[in-house]
């Protein structure tokens, strides 16, 4: 240690090897080029760095904070051609947003969350953001999940001048609970990670008084060592509070939690693979009550215009929060003023600590006493750390000792970029007719209903307070018995704005299917976007104003194959956004989701892309649910059934020998969805449900048992590809399909809306609780819906 500290004082003279050694010792996660850039900077200013200087650089330049892989240059080789991206993110996902240029996008890719217009009187915006907290959850599931939730809520509190959180979302990936995979020493079992993560989300989200009402759980052994925990939050913000501006002379005020030694190096730790000896000390400790006090105090102060800017202390702690807020001005910080929870803490540790529940405000001096009064009323602790200057320097001291003294320009604009290489080769695909299964269709359906990626999530959902704030009008569990699987959550935030006569709300849903990505990452992105849009449509949201969020998780970007998949998926995102006319408004990525066991074997995760979507629901009273409503109603199938079993649940259980993924035809999908939306808006549709994992048979079963009605179905009339097999009709997962229940008296009007489209009548709702599926009079399966429900309604936890 001593020797290494001496080396810092000799930093400007170190060679490549010594720099690398130092980097490993201190855990900075800087690469050779970055280390050289830092060394050259100090050489130029002719002094040795302080430890705090390099810690600040390491935090600011970390993958976690700068997303340098995704926004860096890439050389992509595919089908014998080479394509160069200067900035992959800007040339795919952001490009679509810029090209679409929607007037209802109020703030995109520039703040802690994206913001779109909300409500009928244009008074509001809704901010939306999702984050991952994968690395912490792998080693400390409960704490990792808690602080993940806490972190994304602070993103919403820190967007613009602060939004009020009204919805939490959570999407998890774990190893299979029945996995036989041999785990390395010290690794936690999937069951342990699963229950720890759910407990963490529950205890933090419930205490914050924010409904956790949207999400998903996905099991695959690829996540056994690297679980994924996507946490999202949506909040509403007055239109006139969307912009923040730090002014020179404003005070730097930290509010909320105290600073301790928990979570030192969280940002740099999540920018590297997890090793067997990774310490859980890098995981922060959450305390929801402190964050609730921050929320209450902050929104009060916001409405009194007491501060000019705010951001959250997330990765990198004060160093990132103050460094970012002061980028244009400069900042002077006196660390001895910080409130601490640990007396044995080094000044540089105060500076980079990721202790939770802290927000940094920029406060005009004249407002300080009024702000103090509010904070004291709410029992919320605070400290004045310094002020924003005009010298464009970041100067940090502890008493008389200098901790950091850097130029903002260097810190924020001198990150060197390395071109990453990416290659992709097409996967071998077969589209021959699926093999005849050993079991009959009914037992296959029951197996699929009980599959962990299909079965009921009630044992998780019911642990979340998904109705707090009194605004969850379409719930994750719905229908006659309150247990049907909802497609999207609809939030009506006006019980908490106080304007209970305004019935505008918004819907949130997700699309996620890594099984497709293992075969074709481009189609995975397209299909996921399609699924997200269909879910919104099924509740009656105005999908013409869909906003997307991308959230990528991948293994090490040093592997060109991983990068190749990323490029293909990003290209898919671009095409999906352009096709649906739906811009991405925010995004996030997490790399290095890869672990080594004691024998040195690598465990990378499959490329995982969560597409979250949000769209307005103009009148929440007209939103619809997915369960059958009435005997005699007509069942229509929207969209065409195509061949291909690639990435399906069926293929996981029965090897069909067919791994083809039918391509998404966006143009056709947009036409279909437009007609369906009109039908729902006009009140013709009683229910709608999308066909996704498990295929048609699963979707129709869910509609039936959630409503307590049976159904008679015949595929004869359904729009379908020529020579499609019974297996593909029942269990195929081809995209852009929705089952829609039309009231008999509205059928004529409905038919006039759908002329020339692939929308066909396939059956009728029955009082008798039997699901009877035929193909040209030939019975494929018949079963009591409550028996089907028994297969589906498993206790996951």
Interaction mask 209-248, other proteins, x per CB under 8 A: x---------------------------------------
Residue with tokens 């190096």: 265
Six-digit token pair at 63?
């993958």
How far apart are CB 165 and other proteins at their closest, in Å? Answer: 11
Exactly one of 237, 396, 406, 620 binds other proteins (CB under 8 A); which one?
Answer: 620
Q: How far is the CA of 508 from the CAs of 216, 617, 768, in angstroms?
A: 12, 10, 34
- Give whichever of 193 and 246 is closer to other proteins, judged by the CB atom: 193
- Give whichever of 504 and 551 is closer to other proteins, judged by the CB atom: 504
Six-digit token pair at 141?
């599931």
- Give whichever of 617 and 645 is closer to other proteins, judged by the CB atom: 617
Beta-strand pair 770-775/710-714: parallel
**Count, residues near other proteins per rule CB under 8 A:** 43
Positive or negative, the CA dihedral 311, 317, 320, 326 is positive
Stretch that binds other proteins, among 10-18, 125-133, 302-310, 465-473 (CB under 8 A): 465-473
How far apart are CB 159 and other proteins at their closest, in Å? Answer: 20
Exactly one of 289, 304, 418, 429 binds other proteins (CB under 8 A); which one?
Answer: 289
For 469, counting Cβ atoms within 10 Å of its Cβ (0-12 exposed, 13-18 middle, 19+ buried), the class is buried
3-class DSSP state of 387: strand
How far apart are CB 496 and other proteins at their closest, in Å? Answer: 5
Beta-strand pair 489-491/472-474: antiparallel
How far apart are CB 795 and other proteins at their closest, in Å? Answer: 11
Give the relative orientation of helices 141-157 and 190-208 as an angle to the nearest 10 degrees: 40
Nearest to residue 214, comparing CAs of 167, 152, 261, 178? 167
How far apart are CB 370 and other proteins at their closest, in Å? Answer: 16
Exactly one of 51, 102, 244, 293 binds other proteins (CB under 8 A); which one?
Answer: 293
Exactly one of 428, 621, 667, 755 binds other proteins (CB under 8 A); which one?
Answer: 621
Give the relative orientation of helices 441-449 and 695-707 as an angle to the nearest 10 degrees: 70
- Give whichever of 326 and 486 is closer to other proteins, judged by the CB atom: 486
- Give whichever of 657 and 683 is closer to other proteins, judged by the CB atom: 683
Enter the DSSP assignment of 558: T
* Of 133, 412, 458, 527, catalytic: 133
For 776, counting Cβ atoms within 10 Å of its Cβ (0-12 exposed, 13-18 middle, 19+ buried), the class is exposed
How far apart are CB 497 and other proteins at their closest, in Å? Answer: 8
Exactly one of 36, 341, 370, 480 binds other proteins (CB under 8 A); which one?
Answer: 480
Work out whether 737 is an interface residue with other proteins (CB under 8 A).
Answer: no
- Give whichever of 209 and 674 is closer to other proteins, judged by the CB atom: 209
Interaction mask 367-386, other proteins, x per CB under 8 A: ----------xxx-------
Enter the DSSP assignment of 432: S
Work out whether 745 is an interface residue with other proteins (CB under 8 A).
Answer: no
Work out whether 462 is an interface residue with other proteins (CB under 8 A).
Answer: yes
How far apart are CB 131 and other proteins at their closest, in Å? Answer: 22
Q: Count CB neighbours of 196 within 10 A.
A: 20
Stretch that binds other proteins, among 113-121, 221-229, 466-474, 759-767 (CB under 8 A): 466-474
Work out whether 495 is an interface residue with other proteins (CB under 8 A).
Answer: yes
- Give whichever of 45 and 304 is closer to other proteins, judged by the CB atom: 304
Beta-strand pair 547-553/584-590: parallel
Nearest to residue 490, comparing CAs of 322, 317, 326, 625? 625
Beta-strand pair 685-690/331-334: unpaired
How far apart are CB 470 and other proteins at their closest, in Å? Answer: 4
Query: Beta partners for 589?
Result: 552
Work out whether 475 is an interface residue with other proteins (CB under 8 A).
Answer: yes
Q: How far apart are CA 672 and CA 344, in angstroms?
A: 64
How far apart are CB 292 and other proteins at their closest, in Å? Answer: 5
Q: Count CB neighbours of 464 within 10 A.
A: 21
* Of 64, 412, 494, 510, catalytic: 64
Active site residue 133: yes
Q: How far apart are CA 737 and CA 695, in angstroms?
A: 10
Exactly one of 5, 40, 426, 467 binds other proteins (CB under 8 A); which one?
Answer: 467
Stretch that binds other proteins, among 338-346, 491-499, 631-639, 739-747 (CB under 8 A): 491-499
Work out whether 464 is an interface residue with other proteins (CB under 8 A).
Answer: yes
Interaction mask 179-208, other proteins, x per CB under 8 A: -----------------------x---xxx
Q: How far apart are CA 679 and CA 740, in angstroms?
A: 10
- Give whichever of 133 and 475 is closer to other proteins, judged by the CB atom: 475
Six-digit token pair at 236?
């509403």
Strand positions, DSSP E, 530-604 = 547-553, 584-590, 594-596, 602-604
What residues contact residue 91 under an 8 Å CB cut-off, 6+ apart?
Answer: 85
Q: How far is the CA of 35 from the CAs of 8, 30, 321, 796, in angstroms?
A: 12, 6, 23, 47
Stretch that binds other proteins, among 103-111, 427-435, 475-483, 632-640 (CB under 8 A): 475-483
How far apart are CB 480 and other proteins at their closest, in Å? Answer: 5
How far apart are CB 346 and other proteins at their closest, in Å? Answer: 30
- Give whichever of 514 and 708 is closer to other proteins, judged by the CB atom: 708
Work out whether 463 is an interface residue with other proteins (CB under 8 A).
Answer: yes
Question: For residue 264, is it left (φ>0), alpha (ψ between -120 and 50) or beta?
Answer: beta
Positive or negative, the CA dihedral 627, 632, 636, 642 is positive
Q: Check if the beta carbon of residue 692 is closer than 8 Å to that of residue 510.
A: no
- Give whichever of 206 and 308 is closer to other proteins, judged by the CB atom: 206
Exactly one of 482, 632, 657, 717 binds other proteins (CB under 8 A); which one?
Answer: 482
Exactly one of 106, 309, 477, 507 binds other proteins (CB under 8 A); which one?
Answer: 477
Active site residue 64: yes
Query: For the chain, what percentages of helix, strand and coil (3-state, to nearest 5) are there?
Result: 40, 25, 40
- Give whichever of 204 and 269 is closer to other proteins, judged by the CB atom: 204
Work out whether 466 is an interface residue with other proteins (CB under 8 A).
Answer: yes
Work out whether 157 is an interface residue with other proteins (CB under 8 A).
Answer: no
DSSP string, 222-263: GGSSS-EEEEEEEEEEEGGGS-----TT-EEEEEESPB-STT
* Kind and range of the H or E run holding 741: strand 738-742
Catalytic residue list: 64, 133
Binding site for other proteins (CB under 8 A): 202, 206-209, 287-289, 292-293, 296, 377-379, 461-471, 473, 475, 477-480, 482, 494-496, 498, 500, 620-621, 623-625, 629
């Amino acid at each position: 240690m001593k020797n290494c500290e001496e080396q810092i004082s000799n930093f400007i003279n170190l060679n490549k090897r010594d720099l690398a050694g130092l980097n490993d010792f201190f855990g900075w996660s800087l690469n050779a080029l970055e280390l050289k850039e830092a060394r050259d900077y100090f050489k130029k200013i002719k002094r040795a760095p302080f430890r705090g200087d390099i810690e600040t650089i390491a935090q600011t330049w970390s993958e976690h904070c700068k997303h340098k892989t995704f926004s860096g240059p890439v050389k992509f080789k595919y089908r014998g051609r080479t394509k160069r991206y200067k900035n992959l993110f800007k040339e795919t996902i952001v490009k679509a947003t810029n090209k679409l240029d929607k007037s209802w996008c109020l703030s995109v890719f520039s703040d802690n969350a994206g913001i779109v217009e909300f409500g009928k009187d244009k008074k509001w915006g809704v901010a939306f953001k999702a984050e991952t907290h994968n690395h912490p959850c792998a080693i400390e599931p409960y704490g990792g999940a808690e602080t993940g939730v806490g972190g994304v809520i602070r993103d919403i509190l820190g967007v613009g001048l602060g939004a009020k959180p009204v919805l939490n979302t959570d999407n998890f990936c774990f190893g299979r609970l029945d996995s036989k995979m041999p785990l390395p020493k010290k690794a936690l079992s999937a069951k342990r990670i699963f229950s720890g993560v759910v407990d963490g989300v529950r205890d933090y989200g419930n205490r914050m008084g924010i409904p956790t009402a949207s999400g998903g759980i996905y099991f695959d052994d690829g996540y056994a060592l690297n679980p994924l925990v996507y946490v999202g939050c949506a909040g509403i913000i007055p239109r006139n509070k969307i912009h923040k501006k730090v002014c020179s002379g404003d005070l730097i005020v930290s509010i909320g939690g105290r600073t301790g030694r928990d979570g030192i190096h969280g940002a740099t730790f999540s920018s590297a693979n997890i090793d067997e000896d990774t310490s859980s000390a890098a995981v922060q400790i959450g305390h929801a009550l402190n964050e609730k006090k921050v929320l209450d105090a902050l929104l009060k102060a916001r409405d009194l215009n007491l501060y000019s800017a705010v951001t959250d202390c997330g990765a990198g702690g004060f160093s990132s929060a103050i460094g970012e807020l002061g980028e244009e001005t400069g900042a002077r910080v006196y660390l001895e003023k910080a409130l601490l929870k640990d007396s044995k803490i080094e000044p540089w540790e105060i500076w980079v600590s990721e202790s939770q529940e802290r927000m940094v405000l920029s406060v005009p001096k004249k407002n300080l006493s009024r702000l103090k009064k509010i904070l004291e009323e709410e029992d919320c602790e605070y400290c004045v750390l310094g002020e924003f200057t005009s010298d464009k320097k970041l100067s940090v001291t502890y008493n008389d000792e200098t901790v950091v003294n850097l130029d903002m320009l260097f810190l924020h604009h001198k990150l060197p970029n390395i071109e990453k290489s990416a290659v992709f080769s097409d996967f071998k695909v077969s589209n021959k007719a699926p093999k005849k299964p050993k079991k009959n269709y009914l037992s296959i359906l029951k197996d699929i209903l009980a599959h962990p990626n299909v079965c009921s999530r009630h044992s998780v959902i019911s642990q979340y307070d998904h109705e707090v704030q009194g605004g969850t009008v379409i719930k994750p569990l719905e229908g006659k018995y309150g247990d049907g699987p909802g497609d999207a959550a609809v939030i009506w935030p006006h019980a908490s704005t106080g304007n209970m006569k305004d019935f505008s709300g918004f819907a949130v849903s997700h699309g996620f299917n890594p099984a497709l990505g293992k075969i074709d990452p481009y189609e995975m992105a397209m299909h996921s976007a399609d699924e997200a849009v269909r879910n919104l449509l099924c509740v009656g949201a105005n999908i013409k104003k869909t906003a997307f969020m991308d959230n990528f998780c991948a293994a090490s970007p040093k592997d060109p194959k991983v990068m190749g998949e990323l490029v293909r998926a990003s290209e898919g995102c671009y095409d999906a956004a352009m096709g649906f006319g739906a811009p991405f408004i925010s995004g996030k990525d997490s790399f290095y989701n890869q672990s080594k066991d004691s024998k040195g074997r690598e465990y990378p995760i499959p490329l995982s892309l969560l597409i979250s979507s949000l769209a307005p629901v103009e009148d929440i009273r007209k939103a619809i649910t997915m369960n059958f409503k009435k005997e005699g109603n007509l069942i229509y199938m929207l969209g065409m059934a195509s061949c291909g079993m690639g990435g399906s649940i069926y293929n996981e259980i029965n090897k069909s020998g067919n791994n083809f993924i039918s391509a998404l035809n966006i143009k056709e999908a947009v036409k279909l969805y437009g007609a369906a939306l009109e039908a729902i808006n006009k009140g013709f549709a009683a229910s709608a449900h999308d066909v996704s994992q498990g295929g048609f048979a699963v979707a129709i079963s869910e509609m039936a048992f959630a409503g307590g009605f049976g159904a008679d179905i015949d595929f004869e009339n359904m729009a379908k590809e020529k020579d499609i097999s019974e297996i593909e009709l029942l269990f195929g997962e081809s995209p852009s399909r929705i089952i829609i229940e039309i009231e008999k008296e509205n059928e004529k009007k409905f038919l006039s809306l759908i002329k020339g489209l692939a929308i066909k009548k396939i059956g009728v709702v029955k009082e008798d609780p039997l699901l009877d599926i035929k193909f040209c009079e030939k019975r494929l399966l018949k079963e009591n819906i409550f028996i089907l429900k028994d297969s589906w309604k498993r206790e996951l936890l």
